């Protein structure tokens, strides 16, 4: 049977606003399948986002949703989780929203290890605002604000999250659609702050400026650069040049913030 | 025994014509008809569901 996505989508919201070939729709499908697999209660699941193309995602989902200020998804979501620790909190947003404008909130949410799942759709650019370069735009790539090539080195979102203290970090791509929901399921199940970076394509503002002839070419690039963690272990540094490792990259157990905070409340009330 | 064919429903209102389903179908079941995808060769369908999984626009539903 075909999977019934309509059960999780607000009636009358489709077709969505994303451009033809944009991978955000594929990620949203993955998220819906993950929510279905885990059997999460729609009324006890909060989807929080900031501003941007990827951040439009909660608007389509029939869960408790919060569309907040640019980059502030982590801040608002922390508030939701602290007020209702039993709630499943899922954040979504793009690379610009998460690592530039909301970079500070992102690293501190990682540091606190609060039990939330952050899905970062990394399409290497600020799509909605007009194709400005983001911290994830590769060096040399063209954007509307770097017409002669981007001189900045780019962020590795997964490494940033690991460095900041996130206890679960995974990476997938929009091409590998079956993997997305598995990674999200594992991330939601993990007790602590989990980050799932999904490499995405932006054919409109990134692809056109960077000589990608079509959406298919962008999807094939994702297919070519992705190397699963297990395969990467057997490869040399030279072979891994220009490749991106996908799968579960980091998983450790650490004290979770809401549980620790409950202890603080208990101590204070003694 | 006659092979049971799946049904592939394409919601034309949702399809934005990105070609993803057409290009990544391993048995070339789909084609572009103008701006939207359509079924060309249903007989060849192996029900791998890749088109449904990769359609970013929720426009394809495959029922086996």
**B14 interaction partners in chain A (CB closer than 8 Å):** 14-15
Q: Which residues 6+ apart lie within 8 Å of A156 measured at CB?
A: none
List chain A pLDDT tens, one digit each, 270 residues: 678 888 999 998 889 999 999 999 999 999 999 999 999 999 999 999 999 999 999 999 999 999 999 999 999 999 999 999 999 999 999 999 999 999 999 999 999 999 999 999 999 999 999 999 999 999 999 999 999 999 999 999 999 999 999 999 999 999 999 999 999 999 999 999 999 999 999 999 999 999 898 999 999 999 999 999 998 889 888 888 889 999 999 999 999 999 999 999 999 998
Q: How far is CA A25 from the centre of its chain?
A: 13
Of B56, B58, B64, which to mutate for an interface test with A (greatest number of A Cβ within 10 Å)? Answer: B56
> What pLDDT is stored for residue A178 in this prediction?
92
A40: left (phi over 0), alpha (psi -120 to 50) or beta: beta
Q: Is the pLDDT of residue B1 over 90?
A: no
Distance from CA of A30 to the nearest CA of B (A): 8
Task: Note whether A170 and A186 are within 8 A (CB).
Answer: yes
- Give dist(CA B41, CA A126) in Å, integer: 39
Structural domain boundaries of chain A?
7-269
**A26 interaction partners in chain B (CB closer than 8 Å):** 53-56
Whether the CB of B61 is below 8 Å from some CB of chain A: the reply is yes
If one counts every other C-beta atom within 10 angstroms of the C-beta of residue A7, the result is 11
Contact B16 A20 (CB under 8 A): yes
Q: Is A61 helix (H, G, I), strand (E, B) or coil?
A: strand
- Give dist(CA B16, CA A20) in Å, integer: 5
Of A13, A17, A21, A182, which to mutate for an interface test with B (greatest number of B Cβ within 10 Å)? Answer: A21
Burial of A38 (0-12, 13-18, 19+ CB in 10 A): middle
If one counts every other C-beta atom within 10 angstroms of the C-beta of residue B42, the result is 12
Q: Is B23 helix (H, G, I), strand (E, B) or coil?
A: helix
Contact B55 A25 (CB under 8 A): yes
Token readout for A9 is 């989508």
CATH, range A7-269: 3.40.50.970
Whether the CB of A14 is below 8 Å from some CB of chain B: the reply is yes
Q: Is A26 helix (H, G, I), strand (E, B) or coil?
A: helix
Domains and CATH numbers, chain B: 7-63 (3.30.70.20)
Token readout for A240 is 């891994």
Q: DSSP letter string over A132-179?
A: EE-TTSPTT--BTTBTT---SPPP-HHHHHHHHT-SEEEEEESS-HHH
- Give dist(CA B10, CA A218) in Å, integer: 24
Interface of B with A in 5-44 (CB under 8 A): 9, 13-14, 16-20, 23-24
Contact B56 A1 (CB under 8 A): no
């Amino acid at each position: 049977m075909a999977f019934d996505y309509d059960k999780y989508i607000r009636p009358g919201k489709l077709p969505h606003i994303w451009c033809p070939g944009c991978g955000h729709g594929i990620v949203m499908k993955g998220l819906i399948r993950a929510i279905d697999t885990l059997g999460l209660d729609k009324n006890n699941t909060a989807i929080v986002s900031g501003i941007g193309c990827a951040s439009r995602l909660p608007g389509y989902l029939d869960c408790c949703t919060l569309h907040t200020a640019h980059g502030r998804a982590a801040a608002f979501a922390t508030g939701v989780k602290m007020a209702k620790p039993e709630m499943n909190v899922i954040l979504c947003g793009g690379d610009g929203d998460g690592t530039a404008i909301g970079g500070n909130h992102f690293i501190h949410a990682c540091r606190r290890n609060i039990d939330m799942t952050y899905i970062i759709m990394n399409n290497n650019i600020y799509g909605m605002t007009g194709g400005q370069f983001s911290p994830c735009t590769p060096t040399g790539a063209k954007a509307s604000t770097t017409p002669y090539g981007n001189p900045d080195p780019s962020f590795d979102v997964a490494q940033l999250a690991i460095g900041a203290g996130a206890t679960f970090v995974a990476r997938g791509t929009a091409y590998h659609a079956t993997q997305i929901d598995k990674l999200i399921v594992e991330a939601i199940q993990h007790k602590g702050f989990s980050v799932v970076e999904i490499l995405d394509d932006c054919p409109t503002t990134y692809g056109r400026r960077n000589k990608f002839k079509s959406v298919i070419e962008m999807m094939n690039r994702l297919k070519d650069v992705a190397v699963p963690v297990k395969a990467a272990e057997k490869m040399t540094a030279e072979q891994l040049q220009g490749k991106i490792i996908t799968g579960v990259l980091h998983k450790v157990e650490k004290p979770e913030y809401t549980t620790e905070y409950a202890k603080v409340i208990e101590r204070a009330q003694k | 025994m006659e092979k049971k064919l799946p049904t592939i429903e394409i919601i034309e209102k949702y399809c934005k014509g990105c070609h993803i389903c057409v290009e990544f179908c391993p048995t070339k079941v789909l084609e572009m008809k103008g701006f939207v995808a359509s079924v060309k060769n249903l007989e060849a369908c192996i029900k791998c569901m890749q088109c449904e999984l990769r359609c970013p626009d929720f426009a394809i539903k495959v029922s086996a």
